[in-house]
Amino acid sequence: MAIDQNAIKEHIRGILVALGDDPDREGLKDTPERVARMYAEVFEGMNYTNDEIADMFSKSFQVPAGGGDDMVIVKDIDVFSYCEHHLALMYDMKVTVAYIPKNKVIGLSKVARIADMAARRLQLQERIGTDIAEIVSKAAGSPDVAVYIEGCHSCMTARGIKKPEAKTVTTTFLGQFEAEPELQNKFLLLRQ
């Protein structure tokens, strides 16, 4: 699915009119085009399925003989997203991803790219974690994945209840991480 930038421009222009402003005034005349370009960038993940993202970032390396049972952790991956309920920014989000390799590892930058691409959709924080876990599992060929996300939501901090210090934490556990509380605890300790 391609993002329709022309339709976005038309609708942003309509929103500006609905807000009671003049979309042809100096400060706004290029706003619909700028917003359309921004949306194409910040919602890039909407162009791809989880399977397609896994294929894009599945470049892997063989684990040396005798290795591979250790947990791979990439932590403090900065991402942002937009809440599907208010189109509000989810920000200051830190993602930690772990997996247990099965004969191969994916490049470390691929884990960060997967997290970024999964977040670049209209999302729920809970679904971002689920999407990241599913994509990493497919790309790495491992059923054992853990994802921890902590972030702020402008729908809570800037409007409505207005609690600027509120953070949301979500976890997703697959495979051994789901079945073994000790492994969950090890992951949670190591991600700090």
Residues labelled as active-site residues: 83-86, 125, 153, 155
Q: Which residues of 118-139 are buried (b: 16+ CB within 10 A; e: fewer)?
A: bbbbebbbebbbbbbbbbbbbb
Inter-residue contact 42 to 82 (CB < 8 Å): yes
Q: What is the Cβ-side half-sphere exposure of residue 15, based on CA atoms within 13 angstroms?
A: 10
Separation of alpha carbons 135 and 139, rounded Å: 6
Tokens matching residue 164: 């600027």
List, in sequence order, every residue forming a beta bridge with 61; answer none if it has no partner: 105
